[in-house]
Amino acid sequence: MRCPFCGNTETQVKDSRPAEDHVAIRRRRFCPACGGRFTTYERVQLRDLVVVKKNGRREDFDRDKLARSIRIALQKRPIEIERIEQMISGIVRRLESKGDVDIASDEIGQIVMEALARIDTVAYVRFASVYKNFQEADDFEEFVAELRPVAKGEEP
Ligand SMILES: [Zn+2]
């Protein structure tokens, strides 16, 4: 596994343990070249999904890309990293279990918004504001109002 800090490919695994209720293996890695430490998650890839964009373009589903957008939405929010990873895995499992290799990008956005709304309202609004085009602002307000009580109820 290549070191994300210096690019060295000879990194060492310091610790491996099950994570996310045994659907992933979490590995702590160490780079002897730069002293960097990082974590990787190993998961079963059930099958390869294809994202179908609004304009009809197709591209391979990219878990990292999805994870990135979710992490950006959750930046500086008081949510544990482990919980975020769990949420991302949950979303991917939902997509994989839909029984269809093709998934509309809209559908993914919708699932992500639902998941975010359940753990953090601020992150949800951030994601939604980037994701949606706000052509129908009223609809959006309605959507937020609908989801807010759920998010509030789950606040610790
Ligand atoms: Zn390194």
- State which residues form the domain around 113: 47-153
Q: What is the pLDDT of residues 81-140, one digit of tens each?
A: 889 999 999 998 888 877 778 888 888 888 999 999 999 999 998 888 877 654 344 454
In whole angstroms, what is the distance from residue 107 CA to residue 128 CA?
13
| Residue range 55-98, pLDDT digits in tens | 888 888 888 888 888 888 898 999 998 899 999 999 988 888 77
CA of 30 to the centre of ligand 1 (A): 8
Q: Which residue has the higher pLDDT, 149 or 54?
A: 54
- Whether 97 and 140 map to the same domain: the answer is yes
Q: What is the pTM of this model?
A: 0.58
What single DSSP character describes residue 75?
T
CB 52 within 8 A of CB 105: yes
* Contacts with 77 (C-beta within 8 Å, 6 or more apart), sequence order: 120, 122, 123
Considering the domain architecture, whether residues 89 and 39 belong to the same structural domain is answered as no
Q: Is the pLDDT of residue 9 over 90?
A: yes
Q: Please count the structural domains in the chain.
A: 2
Residue 25 Cα to ligand 1 midpoint, Å, equals: 21
Label residue 155 by pLDDT band (50, 70, 90): very low
Secondary structure class of 115 (helix, strand, coil): helix
Whether residue 104 is contained in a domain is answered as: yes
